[in-house]
Structure 1
Amino acid sequence: MADWEKWRTGKAIPQDYKKETSPPTRDGNVEVIYTVAVLEVGPLSEANSNMTVTIEYSMAWVDNRLADLTSQVTPVSSTLLWVPPVAFGTTVRRVTHINDDGKENNSINTWLQRQGIMFYKLTRKLELICPPSLEEYPFDDYKCSIELHGYGGVVFPLREPSKYYKAQPVQVDMTAVTSQFAMTGLKLSSRVAPLNQHTDTDTGCVMFRADCTFPANDCPLMKGCSDENDECYWCKHFVGTCSYMSASDQCSNTSSGLSILEVQLSFSRRRWSHVFRTFVPTVVIVGCSWISFWLHPRDITARVQLCVTAVLALITMAGNRKEHGITVVRAEDVWMCGSVLIVTLALFETVTVNSILHGDFLNIQLSFCKMHGTRVRPMPGPSTAWAEDEETSSSSPETVANRIDFFSRILFPITFTVFVAGFLLYYIG
């Protein structure tokens, strides 16, 4: 550690070296080779749209002013040497320094090679602003971006993996993804934009882009596993299936511009818990309310109790899932309202059948006809006793009530099936 003491105190640094000055290059651009590692992804707070992500940027560049000053890879002090001037974008609300040894002072994050190649590791825990689109909850997908801005001629060029350069530009510790979302993909892009506060940073000269998709796997279940296991090491350094795109032309001089290295994380909400905790119980409750159609029309007490219990159960489920601070109408709210409406209609059907049995419904019809002066004249024609008996039997209150129950057994399941199909097509299809 003798070399480290010299570099830490500044004794090994040349006298004409100035840390405020970037390494001299022919075009004024300092190419910074990079790799990105997502070390941890925390849960998303849907009330304030906050999400924590621990990310590590490993950078390398050439500084000819420090060439031949060491015979091997030597740790150096980043506070006394030039490092790329970078800052995070507007989506980052708070930044916390993370060190390997847990100590902020005396931590080593910069190394120097004999040819003047500098290695720099930047590890930060970021609190991001990632507003989710809750209108489709719990079928929502969303994206969260992290921008690292480079100034003073810093550019992030293409370094696609090859047989000579095998380092992947991006990797994720999938065992540390503890969000209620499943990580489905990651996009990495490097571009250059004019340094103008009125300029949209989404435009500019694209230098490199990587698009990685993550298949479903069991990595989140291996939290805390040991790297000695091959499967665990694969999950902790997960890459996915990536496609790369690089610019055919070099970007112009960026000494007065802004270089942007963007990492965009793609998530899809884990839905199986919602299926078994919300949708399946709701379907069971709605289906149980239809048992009232199979009970005798005169069992009014049992039928009303069954429907009222189903309505109260659905209202209780909907109330328990209302989270503080969320005011938008979500897909889950639409589902619960539709289910409550179906059960409420079943309750109205029970009331209607009971009114018919007691003649209240027919009395209301007769009163309505009298109010409008409607008079029914008898039709001339032969009359027989057996025809009158048949007419009386087919129009008796109990027969009408049974007929309404019969059609309800068919119409209610069909109506609910149409609602479910339309709901799934709208929010998933």
Structure 2
Amino acid sequence: MYRVLQGVRETLQLFSSNDSATMADWDMWRTGKAVPRDYEKENSPSTGDGNVEVIYTVAVLEVGPLSEANSNMTATIEYSMAWVDDRLAELTNYVTPVSSTLLWVPPVAFGRNVRRVAHIKDDRKHNSTINLWLQRQGILFYKTTRKLELICPPNLDKYPFDDYKCSIKLHGYGRVVFPFRQPSKYYRAQPVYVDMTAVTSQYEMTGLKLSSRVGPFNQHTDTDTDCVMFEANCTFPANDCPLMKGCSDESDDCYGCKHFVGTCSYISAADQCSNTSSGLSTLEVQLSFSRRRWSHVFRTFVPSVVIVGCSWISFWLHPRDVTARVQLCVTAILALITAMANNRMKLGVTEVRAEDVWMCGGIITVGLALMETVVVNSVLRGNIIMPSFCKRRRPRVEPTPGPSTSWAEDEETVDTSSPETADKIDFFSRILFPISFTVFVIGYLLHYVG
């Protein structure tokens, strides 16, 4: 294993060099003249246990935006693989480009969530068709870049406080195994890195998980039954990399952002996986995202709070200003409904989201303020029966001595005092409505954010 890693490291170091002799040998390998006559590309390299161990490195070069309407997202992934083929040993004295169409390469296929695959050509290389190199010890280094169109349905129940995960699976066939590999003092290259300057999404990338496992050959089997050979969990702290788009690799900060690794922890359980030759080997890259929320705070939550607060101005208007109070509340309701409808039409989703719950809470609050205006107006008109504690009882006045009159009333009189009752309703509304809405906001944040 150490010999393979050393070979990969030497290949990576010599890959960028311009050697005219190396490029001259490309013509011989491209035409097949340098390929041994008894070599059969259909047969995998012979090993002791029958498994072909493929050392790998994964680079996430670009991540596009997610479409909530059709659950599509694009990602450009670069896979670098290395393996040993003793049949090709001692055929060259240096790193030589060879033809991938004439030699055995690991048979791999992407998982079901990859809808479309596009080949990416690297113009920085001398020849865009060269993607396989051979070293003297028979070590082959294979590099391929694919732009993938992924199907990763998001869970929008907590929108816009939702997190998002998308997995990219690469299945290896023909007894191909992706073994354990992690940085060490001999080989410090990371198994996976991300170009953070090319992550253009409404989400921010918060982590990455790389796992190599072997499971039953039936792809429809639950992944929980797979045996994990190697796992790397990397967390990405908040940084300024998204602000360095289009930067040059000459600076250390730019290079660090284009080869960002984060803080990784590694788990190896290769010894616990037995009978790997009869299973399906899978190399999975799981991207973790968290939605960028500040734009939603200033675009949705702050305006809606202001609209709801403006509806409470009706409690400070005179109870007889019915027209102004009704217009204020109705305008606030229509503004909230319009904002809610526009967001749903733009995203093209039908499920109930956290944002819908928020907007409905604001609409209900403003609707209750409108009902309060109706109640106050009814009290002023005397069309509503008020509770006894809202009634004002007049004190009994003793009649003054004098001649008796037939129209004098000596019984106790009761007055509802409608204007004062309406003022009391407005007074309590000024206190209860803000408190109730504050309780709703706290409960909302605890449920969806906490």
User: Given the two structures, how large is their TM-score scaled by the length of structure 2?
Assistant: 0.87
Give the one of 42, 48, 55 matched to 2:70. Answer: 48
Residue 377 of structure 2 corresponds to which residue in structure 1? 354
Question: How many residues are aligned here?
Answer: 410
- Give the equivalent residue in structure 2 for 1:91: 113
RMSD: 2.3
Q: In percent, how many aligned pairs have the same letter? A: 78
Matching of residues 184-223 of structure 1 within 5 Å: 184-197=206-219, 199-223=221-245
Query: Which consecutive segments of 4 or more residues in structure 1 shift more than 6 A?
Result: 390-393
| Structure 1 residues not aligned, in runs of 5+ | 367-378
Paired residues of 1:39 and 1:55 also in contact (CA < 8 A): yes
Counterpart of 2:396 (choices 351, 372, 383) is 383
- CA shift digits 1:236-255 (9 cap, x unpaired): 00000000000151633433
- Kindly indicate whether the alpha-carbon contact (under 8 Å) linking 1:153 and 1:253 is maintained by their aligned counterparts in 2: no
SS in 1 for 2:366: helix
Aligned equivalent of 1:416: 437
2:122 and 2:128 in contact (8 A); partners too: no
Aligned to 1:369: none
Which residue of 1 is the match for residue 253 of structure 2?
231
- Amino acid in structure 1 at the alignment position of 2:31: T
- Native 8 Å contact 1:152 1:257 kept in 2: no
Query: How far apart, in 1, do the equivalents of 2:124 and 2:172 lie?
Result: 27
- Counterparts of 1:162-311 in structure 2, within 5 Å, are 162-197=184-219, 199-247=221-269, 249=271, 251-311=273-333
Q: Which amino acid aligns with 2:67?
A: S
* Partner secondary structure for residue 321 of structure 1: helix
Is 1:328 matched up with 2:351?
yes
Alignment partner of 1:400 is 2:413: no
Tell me the residue number matched to 1:370.
Answer: none
1:14 corresponds to: 36
Residues of 1 paired with 2:219 and 2:258: CA distance? 38
Summarize the Cα distance change of 1:343–1:282 in structure 2 as closer, same or farther, 3 Å threshold: same
TM-superposed CA distance for 1:202, in Å, is 3.9
**CA distance, structure 2, for counterparts of residue 231 and residue 326 of structure 1:** 39
Matched residue SS, 2:225: coil
Moved more, 220-229 or 274-283: 220-229
Matched with 2:360 is: 337
Q: Distance in 1 between matches of 2:323 and 2:353?
A: 35
Question: Which amino acid is the alignment partner of residue 74 of structure 1?
Answer: T
Residues 183 and 267 in structure 1, CA contact (< 8 A), matched pair in contact too: yes
CA distance in 2, matches of 1:108, 1:410: 74
Partners of 2:220 and 2:61 lie apart in 1 by 33
Residue 107 of structure 2 aligns to which amino acid in structure 1?
P
Q: Does the 8 Å contact 2:58/2:79 carry over to 1?
A: yes
1:46 aligned partner, one-letter code: E
Alignment of 1:34-183 (within 5 A): 34-101=56-123, 107-183=129-205
Q: Is the 8 A contact 1:152 1:254 kept in 2?
A: no
CA contact (8 A) 2:180 2:270 kept: no
Distance change (3 Å), C-alpha of 1:196 and 1:312: closer
CA displacement, residues 156-215 of structure 1 (integer Å, 9 cap, x when unaligned): 111110111011001000111111111111111001112135533442221100000000
Aligned to 2:12: none
TM-score, reference length from structure 1: 0.91
> Is the CA contact 1:28–1:153 (under 8 Å) kept in the aligned structure 2?
yes
Aligned-partner SS, 1:400:
helix
Q: Return closer, same or farther for 1:123/1:202 CA change in 2, 3 Å cut-off.
A: farther
Work out the CA distance in 2 between the residues paired with 1:102 and 1:48.
34
